[in-house]
Chains A and B, each alone.
Chain A
Amino acid sequence: MDIVVDVIGAAVLFLGLSLATIGLYGLLRKPDVFHQLHASGLVTGPAVILVLLASLSTGSTAIVTSSILVIAFVLVTSSLSLHAIAQAALHRVTHRDEDDDGGDPD
């Protein structure tokens, strides 16, 4: 029974690292910020969560509780930070001609 838990934990860990590698390859290949956001969502979301989820096979209670805390935090904040970057990129595309004349008046 112990070896099954070890194998599943290693599989989840290496799946997460493979997703991170695929996301990094996409980030290095794609030219635009909007395209890169897609690959970056793979790294900051599922890859980190799978690597942290592999802590369930360590059997240590302290590591598992800390990892679940980090998973809950990453689930909330990764999408929020990517949304903020996407908003900034969209603002830069749509307001490119307005920024040349001295900034906004407010």
Chain B
Amino acid sequence: MPEIVALVAFAWSSLLLLGGGLLLLRSRDTLHRILALDVLVAFVICLLTTLSYLNDVSYYVDAALVLAILSFTATLVAARYVIRGRPF
């Protein structure tokens, strides 16, 4: 992959992350915040992947996998907390 493509994609992902932060700041409700955090983790996965393309190393994608696992459990537990008033 050419370096300019990876650089433009990295800058674009950073702007997306900025927009996700704006979404988190604008959220009024617990569910809006859970949804905004889920979307923010998707943006961070995009950012780490483009960073891995830029530097041509693979371990950023592994970090993205760990982040996806943590985000999945956090979203499930937070949604259950909204329903039952306790996590489990």
Contacts and interface: CB of A to CB of B under 8 A. Distances in A.
A24 B13 CA distance: 12
Contact of A17 (B16, B38, B61, B62): B16
B45 A73 contact: no
Contact of B2 (A6, A40, A74): A6
Interface in A63-85: 63, 66-67, 69-70, 73-74, 77-78, 80-82, 84-85
B2 A10 contact: yes
Interface in B28-83: 29, 31-32, 34-36, 38-39, 42-43, 45-46, 49-50, 52-53, 56-58, 61-62, 64-65, 68-69, 71-72, 75-76, 79-80, 82-83
Nearest to A59: B1
B interface SS class: helix
B27 to A, nearest CB: 9
Given A58-B1, A88-B31, A70 B61 contact: yes
Interface of A: 6, 9-10, 13-14, 16-17, 20-21, 23-24, 27-28, 33, 36-37, 40, 43-44, 47-48, 51-52, 54-55, 57-58, 60, 62-63, 66-67, 69-70, 73-74, 77-78, 80-82, 84-85, 87-89, 91-92, 103-104
4 cross-chain pairs, A with B, having the tightest CB-CB distances, nearest first: A62-B58, A66-B61, A84-B79, A81-B75
15 contacts: A9-B5, A24-B23, A27-B36, A43-B39, A47-B46, A55-B53, A55-B61, A58-B53, A63-B61, A69-B65, A80-B76, A84-B76, A84-B79, A89-B31, A103-B85
